[in-house]
Amino acid sequence: MVIVSIMTTGGEIESKEGANVSTALTDAMHDAWVLQAENFVNVFIRENFSDLITAGLNVDVKSIFSDVVSSLVAINGIMYDMSGYTSRAEAEDMVSMLDRGTQRILSILRDKKYTKFIKEA
């Protein structure tokens, strides 16, 4: 899978979607979801971290964005078609775990003292 993203990688998304994700998913679908997730993160924290990452944000702190964006995209991938998973409960559990991680990261990024730290690292 070749995904165009500033904040994450296709490999990270695929690993979070799991082995049973639908084979009908396309790179174009993932690209659209990535763009939506990256835009959501920037708007949510009211900072354009896409530009900061492109400009060379410190590797020690930029992975938090990869984690949240890949999780948001993986949730979409899992929800697109749950029929490949061993059970609907398996897919729902995966979505719940990804959502909990996403909420944790967004609560951190909402706090300006953490975004200030990320920018200055």
Spell out the per-residue pLDDT of the chain, length 121, in tens.
Answer: 678 899 999 999 999 999 999 999 999 999 999 999 999 999 999 999 999 999 989 988 999 999 999 999 999 999 999 999 999 999 999 999 999 999 999 999 999 999 999 999 9
Interatomic CA distance for residues 17 and 35, integer angstroms: 17
Query: What was the pLDDT predicted at 51?
Result: 93
Domain borders along the chain are: 10-120
